[in-house]
Amino acid sequence: MATYKIGTRGSLLAVTQSTLVKNQLEEISGEKFELVTIKTQGDEITNKPLWQLEGKDFFTKELDEALLKGEVDFVIHSYKDLGSVRPAGIKLAAVTERRFAHDILLIEKKTIGLFANWQGPFVVGTSSPRRIVNLSRSLGPYLPFAERTNLTVACETLRGNVNSRIKKLKDGKYHAITLALAGIERLAHTEKSAQELRELLSGLNYFVLPQSVFPSAASQGALGIELRENRDDDGKLLKILQHLVHEQTVEEVLRERKAFKDYGGGCHLAVGIHVKKVGETYLHVHKGEADGKVIDEKWLEGVTHPPLPPGKKLFVGLPRGERAGVVYDQYLRKVAAETKQNLRNKHAFVTSRYCIPSLSGEDAQAPEGIWAAGTKTAALLAKEGFWVNGTSDSLGTADLLSLQSSRALQMMSPHLRTFKVLTHESGTSDLGEVVGCYERKTTDVDKAYERSLEAVGACFWTSFAQYEAFLKKFPFLAGARHFCGLGKTWQEFSRRKLPVAALASMEDFYSLQKD
């Protein structure tokens, strides 16, 4: 039986992820595989950011050469390292399933206690132009007391492998660093690398950066496996490798890489690009800078909605606002309950601003971690001085349920699988035990408010319970067009097979109204 040679970079992460693939292939095929480590230019140059160097393909050229010369049978890359144009004679055989495409901010726990009296810039280590732009512009509101202390975020150069980067954080060279979560997750899956990683992560806390604000690099989290096009084996190796193909990942990263190429590509590109399949379509998030222009886009692929007829108003299920032609929710009000929760050794999932009082006070017990349903709630928690570990990005709980299984996160949060869900008194959740932290109460509204609702042509609901309450009181709203976000509200409408359209952002809803 022949032994297939796998070309890989020599870093601990590259060898670890290639070993994981090797083990999968041996189990699937019964064939033998061995790793061949190859040094690349990108591995040897660690004193400068790659975007400041002349040339390209810093992590792939040497592997390409070995593959084309027949020194190895196939190579395994972090797919984000592969350029838009590949050498002739090389074929993409498989794109593996990606989990945890997010970036993650790592910080020492002792640093978090300093935010109340912070002075000077908050220094984050990274050498990615994309991260530099988006972190500098948008991280501040998610750091405790940042508004009160006028905290600013500054990025400084950080190179090296995952372990050396974390060591630099613990040596005090940065206040925090940003890495790809998928990388540290893979290190947590083999015994040798996991042991070293556990020691490095000791004493650290984290913020899993929401993709809606800090989109990751195109194809981050996926592995690309390549072989020679002219292999003389009747396609045997290709068939083996194709067992690792994950179709949803392929469809998502195909869109990301196309956008990456359209923006100009290259390691200097300062645009985060993330695509996620939601239902039967794809949610796109692009943020950063390209050619001196700010990029800030979020949309659902192929989804358009006709505008409202002239004179029709919009209803938005928020309690306040001043936008012309928009009616807000004056019928339901939320009242926080007089409750303090013992959250010791648990994680709190905070679904609303009205749940925040339950986290503080004399009788409250601090949780091991705090997560928010959306980025607005996360920013409100930070404003009150809480460290937030991540959000569900207003997409329901699917991502959090997945993150609960992360071995790397469990090293920092031993009780990550134990959640309490802080929500309204009649709430339900598949994430953990529900704690009622507020209730909805109806209020008396006048005829003028009812007449304004009669002119509404489209409604944006913030919860399914809100939709039910309004249609019970104002049944004529059934004739309006109904919209909501991409999270739990949409899932409940869909479960009940009621007509509703999901939107990527509130701006999409406001655009229904003609000028």
Q: Assess whether 346 and 433 both reside in one domain.
A: yes
Cα 178–Cα 183–Cα 185 angle in degrees, nearest 5: 105
61-77 mean pLDDT: 92
Task: State the chain's mean pLDDT as an integer.
Answer: 92
Q: Give the H or E element holding residue 442.
A: strand 433-442
Neighbours of 204 (CB within 10 A): 19
Q: Are residues 51 and 45 in contact, defined by beta-carbon separation less than 8 angstroms?
A: no
**Residue 127 pLDDT grade (very low, low, confident, very high; cuts 50, 70, 90):** confident
Which tens digit of pLDDT belongs to each residue from 465-512? 999 999 999 999 999 999 999 999 999 999 999 999 999 999 999 999
Reference 179, options 199, 207, 198, 151; nearest CA is 207
Q: Return the structure tokens found at 31.
A: 């064939």
Q: Assess whether 227 and 246 both reside in one domain.
A: yes
Q: Which of 34-43, 181-190, 201-210, 258-267 has the lowest mean pLDDT?
A: 34-43
Within-domain flag for 285: no
Residue 476's domain comprises: 313-331+444-510
253-276 mean pLDDT: 92
Calpha distance 454→312 (Å, rounded): 9
Q: Assess whether 357 and 425 both reside in one domain.
A: yes
Place of tokens 């405790």: 144
Neighbours of 262 (CB within 10 A): 13
Distances (CA, A) of 182 to 56, 189, 288, 310, 470: 23, 11, 21, 49, 43
3-state secondary structure 259-294: HHHHCCCCCCCEEEEEEEEECCEEEEEEEEEECCEE
Reference 386, options 430, 334, 335, 422; nearest CA is 422
Q: State in Å, rounded, how far the first CA of the chain is from the last one.
A: 71
* pLDDT given for residue 55 in this prediction: 43
Calpha distance 352→372 (Å, rounded): 8
Q: Residues of 269-288 as b/e, b for ≥16 C-beta within 10 angstroms?
A: bbbbbbbbebeeebbbbbbb
Q: Assess whether 386 and 413 both reside in one domain.
A: yes
Calpha distance 92→74 (Å, rounded): 10
Residues paired with 95 in a beta bridge: 224
The strand order across the sheet containing 270-278 reads: 270-278, 281-290, 293-300
Q: Is the pLDDT of residue 50 over 50?
A: no
296-324 mean pLDDT: 93
Q: Assess whether 338 and 426 both reside in one domain.
A: yes
Calpha distance 30→385 (Å, rounded): 54
Give helix then strand counts, H and E, for the chain: 18, 24
Which tens digit of pLDDT belongs to each residue from 408-430? 999 999 999 999 999 998 888 99
Within-domain flag for 428: yes
Q: Are residues 142 and 242 in contact, defined by beta-carbon separation less than 8 angstroms?
A: no
Q: Assess whether 380 and 426 both reside in one domain.
A: yes
Q: Return the structure tokens found at 134.
A: 């988006």
Residues 6+ apart with CB under 8 A from 407: 185, 188, 189, 194
Reference 59, options 84, 80, 33; nearest CA is 80
User: Is the C-alpha dihedral spanning 23, 24, 29, 34 positive or negative?
Assistant: negative
Identify the residue with better confidence: 382 or 361.
382
Q: Are residues 43 and 9 in contact, defined by beta-carbon separation less than 8 angstroms?
A: yes
Within-domain flag for 118: no
Within-domain flag for 307: no
Q: Assess whether 425 and 465 both reside in one domain.
A: no
Q: How many residues does the chain have?
A: 515
Reference 180, options 142, 136, 226, 126; nearest CA is 126
Q: What is the SS3 assignment for 412?
A: helix
User: Judging by beta carbons within 10 Å of its beta carbon (0-12, 13-18, 19+), is residue 140 exposed, middle or buried?
Assistant: middle
Q: What is the CATH number of the domain that holds 66?
A: 3.40.190.10
* pLDDT given for residue 51 in this prediction: 45
Q: Assess whether 400 and 323 both reside in one domain.
A: no
Residues 6+ apart with CB under 8 A from 451: none
Q: Assess whether 506 and 449 both reside in one domain.
A: yes
Q: Assess whether 456 and 424 both reside in one domain.
A: no
Q: Are residues 218 and 101 in contact, defined by beta-carbon separation less than 8 angstroms?
A: no
Which tens digit of pLDDT belongs to each residue from 193-248? 999 999 999 999 999 999 999 999 999 999 999 999 999 999 999 999 999 999 99
**Residue 4 pLDDT grade (very low, low, confident, very high; cuts 50, 70, 90):** very high
Calpha distance 504→212 (Å, rounded): 10
Q: Assess whether 432 and 338 both reside in one domain.
A: yes
Residue type, 233: D
Calpha distance 120→475 (Å, rounded): 55
Reference 214, options 103, 100, 293, 373; nearest CA is 103
pTM, two decimals, is: 0.93
* pLDDT given for residue 52 in this prediction: 47
Within-domain flag for 385: yes
Count of domains observed in the chain: 3
Q: Assess whether 13 and 82 both reside in one domain.
A: yes
Q: Return the structure tokens found at 383.
A: 């404003």
Calpha distance 273→60 (Å, rounded): 21
Q: Is the pLDDT of residue 362 over 60?
A: no
Q: What is the CATH number of the domain that holds 416?
A: 3.40.50.10090
251-271 mean pLDDT: 92
Ordered DSSP codes for 326-385: EEE--SEEEEE-S---B-TTSEEEE-SGGGGGGG-STT-B--SEEEESSHHHHHHHHHTT
* pLDDT given for residue 84 in this prediction: 80
Within-domain flag for 144: no
Q: Give me Rg for the CA atoms of the chain.
A: 25
Place of tokens 């309006």: 480
Within-domain flag for 168: no
Q: What is the CATH number of the domain that holds 451?
A: 3.40.50
Q: Which of 418, 441, 464 is the last residue of a domain?
A: 441
Q: Is the pLDDT of residue 290 over 50?
A: yes
Q: Are residues 190 and 373 in contact, defined by beta-carbon separation less than 8 angstroms?
A: no
Cα 455–Cα 480–Cα 423 angle in degrees, nearest 5: 105
Within-domain flag for 186: no
* pLDDT given for residue 24 in this prediction: 96
